[in-house]
Amino acid sequence: KAARDVSDLILVGHSMGGLSVPLAATGLRVEKLVLLSALVPRPGFSMNQIRAAEPVDGHYDLQHAHFTDLGDDVWRIGPDTVRDMFFNDVPAEITLRATRNLRPQCYRIMREPTPLELWPDVETAYIVCRGDRAVNPDWGRWVAETQLGVEAVEMEGGHSPFLSRPAELAA
């Protein structure tokens, strides 16, 4: 509600957040969308349909695959899986603190078709992390070009550069 009174917003969607920020942009005065190692919705499809047809997922065989179904499409990801997939290049002390702050996540957004009818008429940027284990960097480049009509900005690092490379990400 408070954001409705603000103009020149820049919305950043990381990972699954890429599915919701374009929806938020349809009701706010948004200057720019920044998608960071993000999933990108496509009108008429669920993200799981897109994942089944396109190489969205990272190309990494997890050493630890611990996922706990808490019911009602809510899942908790185990700390070793989180470290391997999301925090693989994050310093150990930051990984420990970040892992403690993680909460279960609802994955219904992955299986339901997006309510997005058209991509918002807002400047959009896509940032690819070359070492991402969760979202395939090649898919990120491809979706930036073919769906968003932009050239992806690239940087080193894994899925969570705000923890491993914050200065480089900010630049």
Question: What is the percent of the chain with per-residue pLDDT over 90, rounded to a whole number?
Answer: 85
Around Cβ 68, how many Cβ atoms within 10 Å? 10
In whole angstroms, what separates CA 30 from the centre of its chain?
19
Q: How far apart are CA 85 and CA 160, in angstroms?
A: 10
pTM comes to 0.92
**Cβ proximity of 152 and 126 under 8 Å:** yes
**Distance (Å, rounded) from C-alpha 138 to C-alpha 157?**
14
As a whole number, mean pLDDT of residues 73-88 equals 92
61 vs 72, 78, 85, CA distance in Å?
Answer: 27, 16, 9
